[in-house]
Amino acid sequence: MRITVVGTGYVGLVSGVCYAKLGHDVMCVDKDPGKIRILNEGGVPIYEPGLRELIAEVRQAGSLSFGTDLPNAVRRSELIILAVGTPPLPNGEANLAYIDHAALEVAEAMNDRKIIAVKSTVPVGTNERLAGLMRSRSAVAFDSISLPEFLREGSAIHDTLHPDRIIIGADSEEAANKMLELHEPLTDRIIVTDIRSAEMIKYASNAFLATKISFINEIANICEKVGADVSQVAEGMGCDRRIGPSFLQAGIGYGGSCFPKDTNALIQIAGHVNYEFKLLRSVVEVNQDQRFSVIRKLNAIFGGELEGLNVAVWGLAFKPNTDDVRDTPALEIIGRLLDAGAKVRAYDPVALDNFRTLLGREGVTWCGDAMEAAQGTDALCLLTDWPEFAGVDLSRLQAAMARPVLIDGRNVFQEKELLGTGFVYYSVGRPSLNKGVKQPMPALQF
């Protein structure tokens, strides 16, 4: 099949490359000539493990190309996949200006019947609205498909080639069958729905996963007060097949480009039909507050006075194996530290440049490795669970720091690793591991 993918962000680029890997003739189009130049020169504008190598492989096979000429790409293709960004507006709604513009450009370029598949995350009803816009510009017939993506940054290639499921929302049996044929090599778990249900499945899935994260973080906060260990609680919960172990890792909350955007957008979608999504509002509120547990623990250790402290921050991306810093907890945590008068030394294996641009303020020393960031500091805050942090020599780390205070925001370290060290240690929901500042458990009354 000849495929055009409009947009070369995470979703568009990874999807296009993986369709090419399956042997289809794919052209990825973007309005940004800088992105296309990087791709044509063998580079990759985003960090995603294995992506550079896979692009080189499929380009060598002749099944993938990049360009800025959307009309030509549309005319040569049977399937047009819209994968442009739908970033949040200030009120939390999805900004549909980019996908509207892309759909109109596609409509003007169509020369014969096409399948138009929307991979961008869009509010329920958007596919129908886009179809109306396109019909206002073109008399050429086309079929609409909702094709939501469920890839995770850091494992996007695996998730695309080995998906849990494929969701196809279609208004035509013939178009649905073509999409089934396209995706059958990936999985036999393909669900065909109406278009609106497919749009809702994407939002509902991300909202539920965000809910699991906020739930386990609330449990962690209670564990800290009653003397239970959230890691053991999560293990026991996860053995129940109705619950499962995924997304039950307590920490400082979620970030990134999907969960924050999609939870807020779903709240807005509900509001537009006069429904107050109370549960999801609480999920967002819990997540927002959870990231500041790091600051609260520092205040507890240093008596509420952070001015003049040298604080190391390990991890700036919202999760490991990505350079994505959109809505990363590190942004607000470092902002609070700077506002309190602390001096920050920051390090991330791949996201440092992106974060430095995002932060846009002075007061941070940008370091080339983890130990450099920790050198001479009064406290270290671990915010992203990169594997290299888990493998650090804690004795060497203690020796490098002026005061060995470690706030483990991702529960990276275990008791056996902390034994014999002199760290003042705080994690999330594991009070028995806290060292250096002992707080007695309250007497429980029933």
Two tokens at 414? 């275990």
Write the pLDDT tens digit of every residue in 120-137: 999 999 999 999 999 999
**Is 291-433 in the same CATH topology as 2-193?**
yes
Percent of the chain exceeding pLDDT 90 equals: 94
Write the pLDDT tens digit of every residue in 28-62: 999 999 999 999 999 999 999 999 999 999 999 99
Write the pLDDT tens digit of every residue in 332-388: 999 999 999 999 999 999 999 999 999 998 999 999 999 999 999 999 999 999 999
Whether pLDDT at 89 is above 80 = yes
Higher-pLDDT residue of 117 and 445 is: 117
How large is the average pLDDT for residues 236-259? 96
Task: Give the DSSP letter string of 106-124.
Answer: HHHH--S-EEEEE-S---T
Q: Binding site for NAD(+): residue ranges?
A: 30, 35, 86, 121, 153, 261, 326
Give the DSSP H/E element, type plus range, for residue 2.
strand 2-6
Q: Are 353 and 318 in contact (CB under 8 A)?
A: no
Whether pLDDT at 441 is above 50 = no
Whether pLDDT at 243 is above 60 = yes
Task: Give the DSSP letter string of 212-242.
Answer: HHHHHHHHHHHHHHHT--HHHHHHHHHTSTT
Q: Does the annotation count 258 as an active-site position?
A: yes
pLDDT at 118: 98
Any idea which of 177-181, 199-203, 431-435, 442-446 has the lowest mean pLDDT? 442-446
Q: Are 251 and 430 in contact (CB under 8 A)?
A: no
Write the pLDDT tens digit of every residue in 62-71: 999 999 999 9
Separation of alpha carbons 293 and 284, rounded Å = 15
Separation of alpha carbons 100 and 110, rounded Å = 16
How large is the average pLDDT for residues 255-282? 95
pLDDT at 435: 76
pLDDT at 445: 45
Side by side, which strands form the sheet with 405-408?
364-366, 343-347, 310-314, 379-382, 405-408, 424-426
Q: How far is C-alpha 79 from the geometric centre of its chain's CA atoms?
A: 27
CB burial of residue 31 (10 Å; 0-12, 13-18, 19+): middle
pLDDT at 437: 55
CATH 3.30.1150.10 fits 291-433, yes or no: no
How large is the average pLDDT for residues 78-107? 95
Percent of the chain exceeding pLDDT 70 equals: 98
pTM for the complete prediction? 0.92
Write the pLDDT tens digit of every residue in 321-333: 999 999 999 999 9
CATH 3.30.465.10 fits 2-193, yes or no: no
Out of 18, 28, 223, 258, the active site residue is 258
Whether pLDDT at 446 is above 70 = no
**3-class SS of residue 172:** coil
Whether pLDDT at 161 is above 60 = yes
How many helices (H) and strands (E) would you count in the chain?
19, 14
Mean pLDDT score across all residues of the chain: 95
* Domain residue spans of the chain: 2-193, 202-288, 291-433
pLDDT at 436: 67
Separation of alpha carbons 353 and 98, rounded Å = 26
pLDDT at 443: 44
Two tokens at 278? 């109370």
Q: Binding site: residue ranges?
A: 30, 35, 86, 121, 150-153, 202, 247-251, 255, 261, 319, 326
Angle at 70 between CA 50 and CA 26, to 5 degrees: 40
Superfamily of domain 202-288, CATH level 4: N-(1-d-carboxylethyl)-l-norvaline Dehydrogenase; domain 2 (1.10.1040.10)
Whether pLDDT at 444 is above 60 = no
